[in-house]
Amino acid sequence: MLRVMERRNFPVSSLRLLASPRSAGRTLEFRGEELVIEPLGMNSFEGIDLALFSAGSGISKEFAPVAADSGAVVIDNSSAFRMSENVPLVVPEINGGDVKNHCGIIANPNCTTAITLVALHPLHKKFRVKRIFASSYQAVSGAGARAIEELRHQVDSLARGKKFSPEVFPHQIAFNVIPQVDSFLDSGYTKEEMKMQNEGRRIMHLPTFKASVTCVRVPVYRAHSVAVSAEFERPVVLSEAAEAIAQAPGVKMPAEGYPMPLQAAGQDDCFVGRMRLDCAMENGLAFWVCGDQLLKGAALNAVQIAELL
């Protein structure tokens, strides 16, 4: 978030860094200045206009209302308020106007949802989406710093013939794929998988939208990919679909070939390729989208919301 704010020249007259007592006293650099991290507390938000939260849903539920009561507008990156009726859930390229309806808290969407929707929404505007079938290929960094280290450790251990026990993921992630992201629901879907439908309905203002998703963790360090088959109300014309993507903000189509996580990592835009008429459904379009889940899926989207405010 700090690097995104620097790069986009976000207007800041005073910046306060808050974290757990464990991190208090450490410093982080912002625009060449070393800032000391302060411990989060009930009086941390006095005089603050904008508060960017990325500390997990438990912290958000406890302290976001405190920040809002202190006069700040909270942009929360956790799942705590995404389905709250009075909290806008915003992807600026899609429903930026919803920020006007906030009551002190605005929610950042799930990373996979945000990456998918910046590609799907321009197609929806053109052809009116009914439902999608999707499979995600999610990088380990989506599970945090320990997950990155676990992949590195496992690759190194396997190369050296050493044994190891998975800690962050339920199974070995190196040279493997795990068809589980988040915990399972009674339906057999995971919480992560249902976010695409539930959050997509709110962001696109489309209560009838349906999404059947399988979320898969893959041994990639950074950037999520999603294979999507979408069914629309209107007949799909491939050239018109490509034009809709080309004209949409926040998403691009490579001039040649197809996007991959290595190219998407570190990029603000999401990238679409492998676009083709779906041969298994009427008015269907299949496509592949890659995006940096730490940027468009998290930090960049939060800063873009702050820019709108």
pLDDT in tens, 68-105: 999 999 999 999 999 999 999 999 999 999 999 999 99
CATH code: domain of residue 236: 3.30.360.10
Q: Is 290 a catalytic residue?
A: no
| Catalytic site includes residue 111 | yes
Helix count and strand count (H, E) for the chain: 9, 13
Of the candidates 102, 111, 124, 290, the residue annotated as catalytic is 111
Asked if 297 contacts 304 with a C-beta cutoff of 8 angstroms, the reply is: no
The pair of structure tokens assigned to 4 is 């995104």
* Sequential DSSP letters for 73-121: EEEE-SSTTTT-TTS-B--HHHHGGGGGG-SSEEEPPPHHHHHHHHHHH
Residue 35: CATH number of its domain: 3.40.50.720
Task: Read off the pLDDT of residues 14-63 as tens digits, 9 standing for 90 and up.
Answer: 999 999 999 999 999 999 999 999 999 999 999 999 999 999 999 999 99
Identify whether residues 194 and 211 lie together within a single domain.
Answer: yes
205 in the same domain as 280:
yes
**What's the domain range around 28?**
2-109+300-308
pTM: 0.96
Do 198 and 278 lie in one domain? The reply is yes
Choosing from 102, 121, 224, 270, which is the catalytic residue?
A: 224
